[in-house]
Amino acid sequence: MAEFDLVVRGGTVVTAAETFRADVGIKDGRIAALGEKLAGARTMDAGGLLVMPGGVDTHCHIEQPGADGTVHEESFATASASAFAGGTTSAVCFAPQFRGHPIRDTLADYRARAAHAMMDYSFHQIITDPTDEVIGKEVPEIIASGIRSLKVFLTYDPLHLDDRQYLRVLAAARRHGALVTVHAENYDAINYRTEALLAAGHAAPKYHAISRPPVVEREATHRAIALAELMDQPIQIFHVSCPEAAEEIARAQARGVKVWGETCTQYFVLGAADMDRPGFEGAKFMCSPSPRDAAARAGLWDVVRQGTLDVVSSDHCGFSYGGARGKGAAGRNAPFRDIPNGIPGLAARLPILFSEGVAKGRIDLPHFVRLTAANPARLMGLAPRKGSLMPGADADIVLWDPAKRMTITNALMQHAIDYTPYEGMEITGWPVATIARGRVVMQEGKVQAEPGSGRFLARGPYDFIRPRGVLPDGFDMSAALPAG
Ligand SMILES: [Zn+2]
């Protein structure tokens, strides 16, 4: 009788640390062994291929309801298909809170939506309204239920928190053991610039970038870190788009502050100039922070190589170009302020990072695995179950052809969105098969999985995000919470 259910034979295994030749033996949905001449009931030939941990995308907006009653067009099932097509096997998505409402009004609904996923998933809990009830009662319950990360926005209506509210979220996270993830841009500065631009008649999509230049991101990044340092609460700065913001992270890391930085695929390859395409076309590239210029893209590789930014996510966001709920929801002539922010990118993340990073010699293979799987899993408390090929880990694997040349088309993304901002991009390196908990869910581009076969990843307490115990003047602000 075969010892393993499935053996991936003859490939080059890539881990977060090294590359080596080995067979991978899978049993009961987990990695059971790495070795030579393993025998399985089923064998997949990986000769000439890389065998890497399936991607872990810790920043995905999927089927997320908005306070205005709309829901992102991508469903958990279609997003899972897109993830598998691109070699990603698990995602962390965003459970909403609507201002003026407790979290329980939306969390059960969001759990029910996610139950149709085919990939494994967890949630960040968005906090938009940190009332006494939310901070004192709901947040501890939600953290105990396995949602170990809270998301705050320092900009955007109707989501943004002021500094006092942000401090309250930091306090609750410190007290109950969660990571705080931050959208860091200056709310008032963006609004001020937006109003000034619109008053001057500058309403086209390209003015989105001008409304929020790098200094707006740098200021909020600095402030987010300073307040987290004041509270001794670990944070991750989301979607760092420019070296200016990364500099603030590097300076804090150098003095020992537990702050991590994420960037996203689009900031390596898209630019503010893309939003200057004719007509409404620029809306296809609109996300926040804004894509920048060539110098920022080059500088971003530097801070990735230096380790300042150690996670690359997609910030996948399902707004279509032509649909009634998508980019044109406010009309094709809507001013940039009224165009939904966010772009789809779940399937494109690994191919673009591989092609631009590994194939062009900017990063090596283990670094690719760290950025796309190992680091996000570790930071979110999903390791070593996810993002690893260690025996005992879930058998989430992508088989990768490093030489395969492809041109990105929307059809290849296999999502429910009618465009990709990466259309026409030439790619070297492509996923040829994806395995999720031992199931072969994608082969040669064909996705096969059952809606509902994904599992919620409940996250317990984990040491990686433990506060340092370094408090200004030794006073623990989180111990006694001032009323909201
Ligand atoms: Zn996002």
DSSP 166-196: HHHHHHHHHHHT-EEEEE---HHHHHHHHHH
User: Measured between alpha carbons, how far is 216 from 183 in angstroms, rounded to an integer?
Assistant: 12
Residue 118 is which amino acid?
Answer: M
Token pair of 386, please? 């996810």
CA of 290 to the centre of ligand 1 (A): 12
pLDDT digits (tens, 9 = 90+) for 158-185: 899 999 999 999 999 999 999 999 999 9
Which tokens belong to 353? 């990072």
Q: Which two tokens stand for residue 180?
A: 């705080």
Cα(419)–Cα(286) distance, rounded to whole angstroms? 13
Closest to 150 (Cα-Cα) out of 103, 188, 197, 202:
103
* Ligand 1 centroid to residue 59 C-alpha, Å: 6
Measured in Å, residue 239 CA sits from the centre of ligand 1 at 7
pLDDT digits (tens, 9 = 90+) for 368-382: 999 999 999 999 999
Question: What separation in Å is there between the alpha carbon of 407 and the centre of ligand 1?
Answer: 26
Q: What distance in angstroms lies between residue 167's CA and the mean position of ligand 1's atoms?
A: 21
Tokens 């890497």 locate to 52
pLDDT of amino acid 483: 74
Rounded CA-CA distance 174/478 in Å is: 7
Q: How far is the CA of 469 from the centre of ligand 1 (A)?
A: 30
- Count CB neighbours of 131 within 10 A: 18
Predicted pLDDT of residue 242? 98
- Six-digit token pair at 469? 């115990």
- Under a CB-based contact definition with an 8 Å cutoff, are residues 385 and 111 in contact? no
What spacing in Å lies between the alpha carbon of 311 and ligand 1's midpoint? 14
Which token pair is 478?
A: 């989180």
**Distance from the alpha carbon of residue 183 to the mean position of ligand 1, in angstroms:** 8
At residue 449, what are phi and psi to the nearest 5 degrees? -165, 160
Residue 46 has pLDDT above 80, yes or no: yes
Cα(349) to ligand 1 centroid in Å equals: 14
| Residue pair 444/48 in contact by the 8 Å Cβ criterion | no
CA distances, 131 to each of 109, 142, 161 (Å): 21, 15, 12
Return the beta strands (E) in 188-257 as ranges.
Answer: 235-237
> pLDDT at position 81, please?
98
C-alpha 268 – ligand 1 centre gap (Å): 16
Q: 426-448 burial string, b = 16+ CB within 10 Å, else e?
A: ebbbbbbbbbbbbbbbbbeeebe
Closest C-alpha to 230, from 262, 252, 261: 252
What mean pLDDT comes out for the span 221-230? 98
Mean pLDDT of 4-31: 98
The amino acid sitting at 427 is: I
Ligand 1 mean position, distance from CA 61 (Å): 6
Distance of alpha carbon 118 from alpha carbon 288, whole angstroms? 28
Residue 217 in this model has a pLDDT that exceeds 90: yes
Q: How far is the CA of 151 from the centre of ligand 1 (A)?
A: 10
In the chain, % of residues over pLDDT 70: 100
DSSP string spanning 101-162? Answer: S-THHHHHHHHHHHTT-SSEEEEEEE-S---HHIIIIIHHHHHHTT--EEEEESSSTTT---
- The pLDDT assigned to 1 comes to 58
- 397 bridge partner residues: 53, 435
**Average of per-residue pLDDT across 140-168:** 96
Mean pLDDT for the stretch of residues 207-232: 98
Beta carbons within 10 angstroms of residue 470's beta carbon:
12
Mean local confidence (pLDDT), 140-153: 98
| Closest to 181 in 3D by CA, of 236, 135, 139 | 236
Q: What is the C-alpha separation between 45 and 461, in angstroms, rounded?
A: 39
- Ligand 1 mean position, distance from CA 404 (Å): 30
Supply the pLDDT for residue 480: 73
Average pLDDT over the chain, rounded to an integer: 97
Distance 461 CA to ligand 1 centre (A): 24
Asked whether residue 65 carries a pLDDT value surpassing 80, the answer given is: yes
CA 118 to ligand 1 centroid distance, Å: 21
Cα gap 229→223, rounded to integer Å: 10
pLDDT for res 184:
98
What pLDDT is attached to residue 2? 77
Question: Residue 402: pLDDT above 70?
Answer: yes
How many angstroms does the Cα of residue 315 sit away from the middle of ligand 1?
Answer: 5
Euclidean distance between CA atoms 43 and 58, whole angstroms:
31
| CA torsion angle 195 200 239 120 (round to 10) | 70
pLDDT, tens digit (0-9, with 9 covering 90-100), for 261-278 = 999 999 999 999 999 999
> What contacts 17, CB < 8 A, 6 or more positions away?
366
CA–CA separation, 304 and 290 (whole Å): 18
Residue with tokens 């165009």: 339
